[in-house]
Structure 1
């Protein structure tokens, strides 16, 4: 009884401490990106900025597709923590680390086919593509470190060690900025310098992460679980979860890519307007993901403890907080569009035109905030089939019909309706599964 009471009083500060640290970690990524863009944007030739932007699209597909390494590691680690299974915690990190290393090496082996296919699908002038390829050739060598960092971050989050994740993010992004300045501004390596800066910062993050692990995990502990790393049934279970999260992530990426491509087909002005609104959505997601990551960690721990009462409290607190945060961010832009969008562009005709579309942020961030929280909840429970089915249903039945209509009628409103329905479908498909997970 005493433990339960203490857990209840400890729940709120525990959740918000995790969430706030996660949000700070998340926000460092776009901040570092903006500074890198500023360095490239002040070079004499703008093709370097355009080339890096082009190449980044390709890297987003490559690395975000492998985001399942972070997500599955968090959920499975957190459940092992909840069961007080120290060996299970270590095995999860090692097994996914081996998988990440293998996939990273595979990317290096296939780097040239990936480059040829990727740049063949991306439209740009030859000089912009050349600059983008120089960035690609430098950054691609960080593939093993990048994927291993996904596992490290997931492992630390699963153990509620978000402070270590904050340190990794701070070190990695600060190093990226300093190396950008050194290689781009001082040494004049242009887009290749930006690629090497990102690659070197990933390896520095990996080094710091390994130091953290070496301080608390002994070699004899690793040797003690080595024989269990390739247990066939456990390996199949882990691969199945990773596969389901992979499909979920690919569905998300495809939805946002199709949205952007359809915006482009409607003209430069429409693409510009929708891109600015998407920047707001992306910014909001960095905040909401901080709550979702905290939900993911605690959901896994409470599932491991079989504590359904705390799971119920977690869903209520995280869902309500996410909804307030999402709607608040949307309302700020709805109420003050001119000064806020004025920070992103000085083209008044674009800002004036945004007035008719900015209200779409309310349903997208309102339903979207709940969707991301539920996504984090089910990731923490490691329910791969639920996550996969929800994503596919949201893309194929929520987004696609209205997106097709938007293309046929050349309507941006229908396109934003498609994105809204995508978020609504995610809430419904995940929400109907929620009561089942809370039963005793």
Structure 2
């Protein structure tokens, strides 16, 4: 029965999650088949910048899921809808701030990252369009997080699939039919995001109109609830900043090795992301169910949820590693027909084979800790993995290993996250019944 609940939540999440890297893969493939490698570098660099910007607000989804799931488990209708209201308020305020500061954000980004003049030029074009997706992106984080907390994985799946299918269609049309390049990819993203937000709002009002009556304006700023909301989200924000820093550092250092290495690393990182989004389906299931069972005080159900989510999640990681090991070159040829990029990627492909399995542990643990709103330990684990493992591994290894040092550091970073969270779990998650 519990396995069925996990799959009912995980499968829609896997389907919707896989459409996200599929979009990234299509964008990479579209520009990867253009005549110059710097288009691919611009998409990679632009994606890094917006990962840094938008992933930083990932707490709007994760924190909303955990808090809503616990309110759902307690059958607290008012607190459930107020959690959504607070998340949307924060999303609106931060979206406005991002739009007001866009010039400074762009200038700081290009000051921090080493890239060729061509890559920087086309990345600026991409940035100046995509920054206006901020309100839609943050709003969708809050609404989809609320749906998941309400044990509804189907609506986020519908929204994400429609959004990304439209995005892919628009990107193909703009790039191939209209002859655009990175600007076409950016416009496709902009139009698709607002379409997705509109669809999410329609679904919200259609299914949950009765729940919306639980909104009480005076409770929006209720001090104890706000304190819990911001404490949980503060920890997730710090954790996410470390994650963003790690991947942004990875992309920035890739750019310093040249356009071909940047292009190769961006393709290989896409392969890591594809598997991470698949495994995250079970992490999201863990968020929803661990939160619900924590809210209702069912500790035995928490432990069983953790056990089954790990079995499923690590199984996906092992399968993906095997597929990558067998079909390496064939997979790379989907992304680009530039032989020098393929040859470069093959040099480092062994790290991509190892990636899915070693990463799966940390992804599942993240979902478990978010559902239990045990965000402090998750934050601490990420800080230790970033500062105590990733950065030292890179700086010690790069004089001897060059680009291999980047991949070694990223792999050790994932291992460190999994090990540290495993050590924290007995005290914070797997407590005695």
TM norm structure 1 = 0.87
- Of 14, 28, 33 in structure 1, the residue corresponding to residue 19 of structure 2 is 28
1:219 shift after superposition: 8.2
Secondary structure in structure 2 of the residue aligned to 1:170: helix
**1:170 aligned partner:** 161
- Of 55, 61, 76 in structure 1, the residue corresponding to residue 67 of structure 2 is 76
Give the length in aligned residue pairs: 431
- Of 405, 418, 423 in structure 2, the residue corresponding to residue 432 of structure 1 is 423
* Greater relative CO (CA pairs within 8 A, separation 6+): 2
Deviation digits for residues 246-300 of structure 1, max 9, x if unmatched?
Answer: 1111111222233344455566776566544433322211211111111111111
Instruction: Check 1:264–1:136 CA distance in 2 against 1; reply closer, same or farther (3 A cut).
Output: closer
**1:4 aligned partner:** none
* RMSD, aligned α-carbons: 3.0
- Of 97, 100, 122 in structure 2, the residue corresponding to residue 109 of structure 1 is 100
- Bigger radius of gyration, 1 or 2? 1
Instruction: Check 1:60–1:224 CA distance in 2 against 1; reply closer, same or farther (3 A cut).
Output: closer
1:147 shift after superposition: 0.3
**2:7 aligned partner:** 16
Matched, 1:371 2:365: no
- Of 128, 132, 136 in structure 2, the residue corresponding to residue 137 of structure 1 is 128
- Of 397, 417, 427 in structure 2, the residue corresponding to residue 406 of structure 1 is 397
Matches within 5 A, 1:80-229: 80-124=71-115, 126=117, 128-181=119-172, 183-184=174-175, 191-218=182-209, 221-222=212-213, 224-229=215-220
Secondary structure in structure 2 of the residue aligned to 1:215: helix
CA contact (8 A) 1:138 1:196 kept: yes
Secondary structure in structure 2 of the residue aligned to 1:29: helix
Gaps of 5+ in 1: 1-9
TM norm structure 2 = 0.89
1:323 shift after superposition: 1.5
Matches within 5 A, 1:315-394: 315-344=306-335, 358-361=349-352, 364-394=355-385
**1:307 aligned partner:** 298
Gaps of 5+ in 2: none
Secondary structure in structure 1 of the residue aligned to 2:216: helix
CA distance in 2, matches of 1:42, 1:418: 30
Secondary structure in structure 2 of the residue aligned to 1:433: helix
1:306 shift after superposition: 1.0
1:75 shift after superposition: 0.7
CA distance in 2, matches of 1:261, 1:352: 21
CA distance in 1, matches of 2:291, 2:297: 10
**1:7 aligned partner:** none
